[in-house]
Amino acid sequence: MPADRMIRQLQTKSDLINCVRLLRRSFGTVAVEFALTKATAPTNPAFVTKAKLKEYLRKPVALYGLLENELLIGCVAIEKSKHNNSTFYIERLAVAPEARHHGYGDELLRYAFERIRDAGGATASIGLMDNNDRLKGWYQTKGFVQTACKTIEHLPFKVCYMSKDLA
């Protein structure tokens, strides 16, 4: 990783404000593409607030940011499964729209895998919109396989669950 780029845990008030902006911008492009609104998909990160992000981080979840020249350009959250000690969820993976297609998502994903392994994890799991074929295909190129697809009552789309063995 170049000297002007780093990944670190996001914890300060300023970090959270910047992360809310990043999540809203990053997931906002998907919300527009798939016609999601706050009314139809209220839990989508495109509509996150600082208060909701703080609430989310109480789970507990570790939130990391990718900074380039001290500017937050990406983030990823990691949460340990309550049901399986070797499974961790990768959530809120986001790259600023203007920084996409430069390998930053790959960097964040590799970093998440390292943190999961460091914590004794053997499986990374994700959930995404089943009809987002581009994103699903990207995860498949990273070794994820689909494990389930479910309808969730409060969402206007099916959720695709994918996992990757990290052992």
Q: Could you give phi then psi for residue 38, rounded to 5 degrees?
A: -60, -30
Q: Is the pLDDT of residue 94 over 70?
A: yes
CB-based contacts of 70, cutoff 8 Å, min separation 6: none
Q: Strands, DSSP E only, in 18-117?
A: 62-68, 71-80, 87-95
For the chain, how far is it from start to end, CA to CA, in angstroms? 24
Top pLDDT among 69 and 154 is at: 69
Per-residue CA distances from 30 to 14, 70, 77, 128, 133 (Å):
25, 26, 18, 11, 12
Dihedral through CA 23, CA 81, CA 67, CA 162, nearest 10? -70
Q: Domain ranges for the chain, please list them.
A: 5-165
Structure tokens at 119: 């914590």
pLDDT digits (tens, 9 = 90+) for 15-67: 999 999 999 999 999 999 999 999 999 999 999 999 999 999 998 899 999 99
Q: Is the pLDDT of residue 1 over 70?
A: no
Q: pLDDT above 70 covers what percent of the chain? A: 99
Q: Is the pLDDT of residue 154 over 90?
A: no
Kindly indicate the confidence band of residue 2, based on its pLDDT and cuts at 50, 70 and 90: confident
Question: Could you give the strand order of the β-sheet that contains 71-80, starting from the edge strand earlier in sequence?
Answer: 5-9, 62-68, 71-80, 87-95, 123-129, 158-165, 145-151
| pTM of the model as a whole | 0.94
Kindly indicate the confidence band of residue 151, based on its pLDDT and cuts at 50, 70 and 90: very high
Mean pLDDT of the chain: 95
Fold of the domain spanning 5-165: Aminopeptidase (3.40.630)
